[in-house]
Amino acid sequence: MVIVEGIDALRSELRARRGTVGFAPTMGYLHEGHVSLFHAARRENDVAVASIFVNPLQFGANEDLDAYPRDPEGDAEKAQRAGIDILWMPTVAEMYPEGSATRVRVEGLTDGLCGRSRPTHFEGVTTVVTKLFHAVRPDRAYFGQKDYQQLAVIRRMTKDLDFGIEITGLPIHRHEDGLAMSSRNAYLTSDDRARALVISQTLRTLRSRWADGERDALALALTLAAGIEAGGLRLDYAEVLDGDTLLPVAPTSRRVVAVTAAWSGRTRLLDNTVLSEPDATLDLTQNP
């Protein structure tokens, strides 16, 4: 594996290789969820590229940019073990040189959920992913369903702007007790972490209510909200929506998703589960 910093170095490494390119962008502090994207990029392509870049543009003014956990050496080891060929770790100056003024914005899909509580977040994500895509020019790119709205926004952008990149969404990786893996879990105190389990537990309750025939999206959303709040978390949102449009469920909906964000102590956690189709994303069978 080679590690590169500049876009020119990245491009010359890419030019030296032949075949299809698979790409997994991340913000680092890697866990098994990230590594599953790397494995897919490795398995399905001739060249596997990963990036690590903590993107300032997607953090709000009072968010955790400075505190965001970092471990470049540990990350490089994990990427190498996962079979990554090129690990790209650009600097902020490289990505946003002085005078940089262009932003990419997806409308509609970014209005609700995380877009409501983090109004500039998705513009930061779509701008950086556009730049990463232009630099790497992958055939395929890999994202986690953990960030469900982000995946929907990136699919939309890729289609609307004719990137010609195949986007793959991969299942949520969880700890044995059900907590969705996240770099931000590093912020959790042991009390925060114990309380956070209510999120995946309540999503599991929703799945059994769905299996029992409950189809009232509002009732399901209220169950999700009530469960999470009863567990002592501060709710940001809990909604049951059309899994493609992120609009209210309609008779034409092909899939239904339950999505939530909640604060455990000072840490904002995201989770979701697809209710309407066989779902590998909430495999909690080992934790009855």
Q: Residue numbers of the site for ligand AMP (CB under 6 A)?
A: 26-27, 33-34, 36-37, 143-144, 146-147, 170, 172-173, 180-183
Residue 247 CB, nearest approach to ligand AMP (Å): 22
Identity of the residue, 129 or 233, whose beta carbon is nearer to ligand AMP in the bound complex: 129
Residue 62 CB, nearest approach to ligand AMP (Å): 19
List 24's β-bridge partners, or say none: 50
Residue 8 CB, nearest approach to ligand AMP (Å): 24
DSSP labels, 158-172? HHHTT---EEEEEPP
> How many secondary structure helices (H) and strands (E) does the chain include?
9, 9
- In the chain, the largest separation of any two C-alpha atoms, in whole Å, equals 57
Q: Catalytic residue among 34, 39, 121, 173, which?
A: 34
User: Both ends of the chain: CA-CA distance in Å?
Assistant: 41
Identity of the residue, 180 or 221, whose beta carbon is nearer to ligand AMP in the bound complex: 180
Residue type, 214: E
Is residue 34 annotated as part of the catalytic site, yes or no? Answer: yes
Residue 98 CB, nearest approach to ligand AMP (Å): 25
Q: 83: burial class by Cβ within 10 Å (0-12, 13-18, 19+)?
A: middle
Identity of the residue, 148 or 210, whose beta carbon is nearer to ligand AMP in the bound complex: 148
Q: 231: burial class by Cβ within 10 Å (0-12, 13-18, 19+)?
A: middle
Nearest partner of 87 among 28, 174, 142, judged by Cα: 28
Identity of the residue, 183 or 202, whose beta carbon is nearer to ligand AMP in the bound complex: 183
H or E stretch including 220?
A: helix 217-230
For residue 154, what are the contacts with CB-CB under 8 A and spacing of at least 6? 125, 126, 129, 141, 143, 167
Residue 144 CB, nearest approach to ligand AMP (Å): 2
Identity of the residue, 147 or 239, whose beta carbon is nearer to ligand AMP in the bound complex: 147
Residue 12 CB, nearest approach to ligand AMP (Å): 25
Length of the chain: 288
Q: Between the CA atoms of 241, 244, 250 and 254, what dihedral angle is there, to the nearest 10 degrees?
A: -120
Identity of the residue, 144 or 178, whose beta carbon is nearer to ligand AMP in the bound complex: 144
Active-site residues, by number, are 34
